[in-house]
Amino acid sequence: MALTDERVIEFFAKSPVRSFVAMLDSLRYLDGNWIWEALEYELFDEALGDNPEERLQIRVPAIRGIAANALLAFSGHAAAFHVVRRRPRSVQGFADQPQEIIVFYELTSAGRYMVRLLEALAGAVDTQP
């Protein structure tokens, strides 16, 4: 997918993370990293498609003021814009424990370009008086 100026502006405008520095840190963290996600649901409700309380939980280290739920939202946002590639691998838990998913994230070519843009923007922000 070609990365146009309009797509870049849309990516920045719709991002759940509002700081260029935070976006840069998030993309650097996601690149080449395995992240454990825990998907909790009841099998019966899942089979019926009636599970409004299904939640995706993520365990990550603190990244310069970015909460774990913001990082999860940003990773979904970046995947929707084809900035990161997400490859999940499911791990079956015990009967009374939730299913766990290990997800590998890597930057696409558009993602590497986005990192260079964010580095330039973050550098410009740091040099402002």
pLDDT tens-digit readout, 75-91: 889 999 999 998 877 66
Q: Specify the residue for token string 């840190």.
A: 25
Cα 117 from Cα 129, distance rounded (Å): 21
**4 within domain boundaries:** no
**103 within domain boundaries:** yes
Q: Specify the residue for token string 């490859």.
A: 87
Cα 2 from Cα 109, distance rounded (Å): 10
Helix (H) or strand (E) holding 106: strand 99-107
* Res. 117: pLDDT tops 70: yes
- Place 45 in a pLDDT band, splitting at 50, 70 and 90: very low
pLDDT of residue 92: 61
- Which residue segment(s) compose the domain that 56 sits in? 16-127
Quote the number of domains for the chain. Answer: 1
Determine what percent of the chain is predicted with pLDDT higher than 70.
62
* Res. 68: pLDDT tops 60: yes
Q: What is the mean pLDDT of the chain?
A: 75
Please report, for the domain that includes residue 58, its CATH number: 1.10.10
pLDDT of residue 12: 93
pLDDT of residue 48: 46
**2 within domain boundaries:** no
- Tell me phi and psi for residue 94, to 5 degrees: -70, 170
Q: Which residues face 36 on adjacent strands?
A: 102
pLDDT of residue 9: 92
Cα 45 from Cα 24, distance rounded (Å): 38
**83 within domain boundaries:** yes
Nearest to 89 by CA among 42, 40, 37, 47: 37
Nearest to 41 by CA among 51, 27, 26: 51
- Tell me phi and psi for residue 124, to 5 degrees: -70, -35
* Res. 108: pLDDT tops 90: yes
